[in-house]
Chains A and B, each alone.
Chain A
């Protein structure tokens, strides 16, 4: 078992990083905020961690924290700037922000390593650390999905006007979702950079947006569990598809398209429906036939 663990350590680490990335989009989505700023935050976190590790030799958690703080601050700024937008417009504005960041990074000269990116960010981050951070995050998010907090966030998503009239702090929740999204994205980016010891502009481009979206749609956008399913699938899918050979990208695209068309609630939705149907059959309600 440990042999398998060692051999696949990169994919295992990648699953947790991808989970955090997916969550950085899923959390605002839960509050009805269609923001992709988490992707830009991934880049911010990745480069910040690389820069402080290479130049100042900060320990792993300090480097990650630095990225998280900066990205969260930017998230707050975005929240203030883009508060009037909704739906796809907000999505596009935040995608634009993420992509502008990659252009800056390519033209950043010595500081960001330009087109090459940065390498040699050797740090003491362990797989255990990564899993630990992810578990803490997930627990906090899971708690926020139930009880009063969960219902309030759902209210902000479903009917903001009604929520406001019943005293739910709609604006604050929205702004908080921007900040949390920034923190999560930066955490993912910083951890990935410290594990791989490199970061380059190609890694933080548009394909990250695509990856995060597909993880959430295929996995399920209602809960952290959906993001987890999505992260597992899309981290391990390339290895599974390897036997398909040349056409694996086609299969990939087809799978994503099929999921978007036929499985709107994501796999999580399917599982939940199946579970409910099973429960209903197992426990007859009311009178017998």
Chain B
């Protein structure tokens, strides 16, 4: 007859796993519940400011007010390309054209870039992105971009 020790040992491991993982699971539920109770009734902007930082969310709100939802913007970054991700996400559904830092100055590179009024610069995690505006123009020989055409 086969030994019953291996299943006993594994069953013991299973019990230990369930005890530890279940306790941690309950603890995780409890801390989420406590955090949720702590923010109950908090308006969405205040909650976002608490999580992402007031400096960042206030700057985002200003940019949202400046750029209409049907207008595009150029998006670039100061040091780390990954910092453009939350900024792009928070500016949805506005469409972005991403330019690496040296590129965005080369406005004559294509027909669209000079026609974009806004440039947003992501400067780092939790830090306020910068907004730069300049008058858009249709380059010679280029057709007006879709957002420049009269509706």
Asked whether A and B interact, the reply is no
